[in-house]
Amino acid sequence: MNFFSGKQLLALCEEQQMSIAQVMLAREQEVSGRTEEEVIAGVKHSLDVMFRSIDQGLASYDKSLGGLLSGHSKKIYGELGKESFYLPDRTMKAVAYALAVMESNARMGVIVAAPTAGSSGILPAVLRDAQETSGATMAQLVDAYLCAGAVGLIVMQNASISGAKGGCQAEIGTSTAMSAAALVQLKGGSPKQCLDAASFAFKNILGLACDPIAGLVEVPCAKRNGLGVLNAMYCADLALMEIGSLVPFDEIVDAMYHVGLSMPATLRETAMGGLAATPTAKRIERDLFANTELSKKK
């Protein structure tokens, strides 16, 4: 039941008459030697950690370790129901969830890297939203998680999920692709529709630089997680309407990888380019590290 590409995954789904989630579950059993019950228990534990990180993020205005985030998720959440937004409250609540996970991470809380710390807010946010607004059951959330994992696995095997290697497109892009596929799985979409949604997600973010201010996974990472939620929902809707991807998923992953390799080092998590190189960002960096041993050595 192993697979290394989207093409192989779709072939397995067709041959075995299984969903992506079912194939991923069978693969995990084969690879890990765990029983089906043990694999599912592990997924449920991850979901529990994800949802607790949302609650912890929303509970406080405390500043992050780097001081660049301070309860933005709680502020958004507190405006729900006041007709403050252009976007529907449901959408902004999901955005708040994504920011909450990022704030939990930046306060050194426990999170699930999905697939990285810098992109950890998107999948928890869309799954929590599905649970609350669509009545998704735990079994459905487990399947969605497994589907997301299959997409992330393909990317890891053929490209990169690292901002240091592929830019933010590799981190936020992969997380958004995983989340879009998960949402399609939740609605009972076909395996092809899941990968179409993942394909759209990458297309919409292709070429995005990784440029964290002061090298911290705080700004602009948190806001990009919020944007990833919107992207994932949009891409899932397109796929569920049977709007297919002109370019196959595997070719898009390959394109993302080569775009990342083409980026200069300044745009790949070094904090030497993009937003991190602006005068304001450099001032923040100097202020943050003025009294550290590293600064003294410099």
Average pLDDT over residues 204-218: 97
Place of tokens 């590799």: 170
Confidence at 292, pLDDT banded by 50, 70, 90: low
Q: CA-CA distance, 243 to 247, in Å (whole number)?
A: 12
- Phi first, then psi, for residue 277 (nearest 5°) are -100, 0
**pLDDT at position 231:** 98
Tokens 């806001």 sit on residue: 223
What is the pLDDT at residue 294? 43
For 84-143, how does the pLDDT look when each residue is reduced to its tens digit (9 = 90+)?
A: 999 999 999 999 999 999 999 999 999 999 999 999 999 999 999 999 999 999 999 999
Q: Is the pLDDT of residue 281 over 90?
A: yes
**Element of type H or E holding 292:** none
Per-residue pLDDT, 187: 97
Q: In the chain, pLDDT over 70 holds for what percent of residues?
A: 97
- State the Cα–Cα distance between residues 154 and 167, nearest whole angstrom: 18
**Helix (H) or strand (E) segment spanning residue 271:** none
The DSSP code sequence of 100-166 is: HHHHHHHTT-----SS-GGGTTHHHHHHHHHHHHS---HHHHHHHHHHHHHHHHHHHHHS---HHHH
The model's pTM is 0.96
Average pLDDT over residues 268-272: 96
- pLDDT tens, 53-69? 999 999 999 999 999 99
> Which position has the higher pLDDT, 295 or 100?
100
Q: What does the pLDDT read at residue 147?
A: 98
Name the band, by pLDDT with cuts 50, 70 and 90, for residue 297. Answer: very low
The model's pLDDT over 28-37, given as tens digits with 9 standing for 90+, comes to 999 999 999 9
Task: State the pLDDT at residue 144.
Answer: 98
* 270 backbone dihedrals φ, ψ, rounded to 5°: -90, -10
Whole-number Cα distances in Å, 200 to 71, 233, 268:
31, 11, 22
Q: Report the mean per-residue pLDDT for the chain.
A: 96
Taken in order of first residue, the domains within the chain and their CATH numbers are 6-297 (1.10.4100)
